[in-house]
Amino acid sequence: MEKIERDKLLAALFKGTVTVTFRKIDTDEIRVMPCTLNPDILKANGVEMTIDLSGDNMEHFPVWSLDKEAWRSFRLSTVEGWEVL
């Protein structure tokens, strides 16, 4: 994923909820995950943002998974697509 696309995805995650489709590394299965980094949504779920996303060479994206109600991550290289909900 190019930096411009990565930055768009990160901005969308901070703005609201995004559905990310990616391939799981261990099983190669497709995972569709509704997720967010929006502070208001995190707060409503009793979660504090404790992850540093300042690195320019981020290979993994940590996100709050809304369906699992837990922190999850995915590799940018495995993303098949994403859309804003």
pLDDT of 49 reads 80
Whether the pLDDT of residue 50 is over 80: the answer is no
User: Which CATH number covers residue 15?
Assistant: 2.30.30
Helix (H/G/I), strand (E/B), else coil: 19: strand
Domain that holds residue 66: 3-84
- 56: confidence class by pLDDT, cuts 50, 70, 90: low
Q: For residues 14 and 49, is the Cβ–Cβ distance under 8 A? A: no
d(CA 33, CA 21): 6
Average pLDDT over residues 46-63: 78
Q: Which pLDDT tens digit goes with each residue over 13-32?
A: 999 999 999 999 999 999 99
Specify the number of domains making up the chain.
Answer: 1
pLDDT of 83 reads 97
Q: Which pLDDT tens digit goes with each residue over 28-44?
A: 999 999 999 999 999 99
